[in-house]
Amino acid sequence: MAALMRELNINTYPPSLKPWVTIINMRIQNISFHNNDNFVDGVYITAGTNTPLVIIVNGHNGFYNYGMFPFIQESLFKNGISSYSFNYSHGGIIGDGDYFEDLQGYEKNCMRLEVDDILSILRNMDGFDNHSSTILLAHSLGGVPAIFAAKKAIENNFPVHGIILISSVKSLNFWPPEMIEEWKTKKVFFKQNNRTKQQLPQGEEFLQEVLQSDGAWNVEAALKSTAIPILIIHGENDEAVPANHGESLYSWVEGRPQTEFHLIPGATHTFNTKHPFEGPSVQLEEMLAVVSEWIKKKYQ
């Protein structure tokens, strides 16, 4: 299905970013795809034809308007890099919102659906300008569907030229054992979101994927089978996903051409920023400088 173009609502952006959105309004638009009986909604910013395209893959409970992500798109644009940041079809967030409205859809969400959402974006590249390369940039748990989507995309001759893993997990099975046991018993585990205070239902298919983290959903095996350049960045003080996750990811691909690991001193899981976004931190600026330099060196 062809992409749907929608007018961007700049009122949902943080005050610090509204002037930027207005200035490049002709370069920015909402692009949505119908997938998995729902919509993949996203914000596309083009830096022009034949520029690299970065597809930003959010983590668990992430969305395109969350915290630092609009600023990441701004930074990429200023460096001549196009980007598309999106909400998963079953992520619970609708359009420009930041509250989980679709809890029925959220309960169904799982890695299988997130991988398919990414593949849907790659299949619908006709909604974008002609770009020189396509890179998946994933944050946190988003690293898992990004790795598996890249693997499947390459097998099916879809364009993926590199992966950037930021604060990413090394395994799906990082949940506390007591939570897993209750999840197994009840089939659905209600986990409180610290930001919205909602009880968000983690569904049964997601549980089965977690339990298959040493088999069908083995991150190490999938990462080793994707023979493309990989940039891994982690915060030294990541409170949610410890830095040893990034170190393990790098150890599995170390020595591969054009593959790098960077540990950002003093950086937290969201690089010392929060939602609502109040402006960039030194750590976020350093992370983005590494990202832009790596992309420009390899893909521009």
Residues 116-172 have pLDDT tens digits of 999 999 998 877 889 999 999 999 999 999 999 999 999 999 889 999 999 999 999
Q: What is the CATH number of the domain that holds 132?
A: 3.40.50.1820
In a domain, 73, yes or no: yes
Q: Give the span between the Cα atoms of 57 and 127, in whole angstroms.
A: 18
Q: Give the span between the Cα atoms of 16 and 141, in whole angstroms.
A: 27
In a domain, 15, yes or no: yes
Residues 189-218 have pLDDT tens digits of 999 999 999 999 999 999 999 999 999 999
Question: How many Å is the Cα radius of gyration of the chain?
Answer: 18
Eight-state DSSP code of residue 237: T
Of 124, 221, 128, the C-alpha closest to 172 is 221
In a domain, 193, yes or no: no
Residue 42 near residue 85, CB atoms below 8 Å: yes
CA dihedral (15, 84, 112, 174) positive or negative: negative
Token pair in block for residue 214? 């040493």
Residues 72-116 have pLDDT tens digits of 999 999 999 999 999 999 999 998 999 999 999 999 999 999 999
Structurally, the chain folds into a number of domains equal to 1
Label residue 9 by pLDDT band (50, 70, 90).
low
Residue 115 near residue 148, CB atoms below 8 Å: yes
In a domain, 213, yes or no: no
pLDDT at 7: 46
Please compute the mean of the pLDDT values over residues 287-292 and round it to a whole number.
98
Residue 167 near residue 137, CB atoms below 8 Å: no
CA dihedral (84, 292, 274, 170) positive or negative: positive
In a domain, 62, yes or no: yes
In a domain, 108, yes or no: yes
The three state secondary structure string of 260-300 is EEEEECCCCCCCCCCCCCCCCCHHHHHHHHHHHHHHHHHHC
Q: Which domain holds residue 21?
A: 4-172+218-299
In a domain, 211, yes or no: no
Q: Classify each residue of 193-223 as buried b or exposed e, where b means 16 or more C-beta atoms within 10 Å of its C-beta.
A: eeeeebebbbbbbbbebbbebeeebebbebb
Annotate 78-125 with DSSP letters as a single string: HTT-EEEEEE-TTSS--TT--S---HHHHHH--HHHHHHHHHHHHHTG
pLDDT at 116: 97
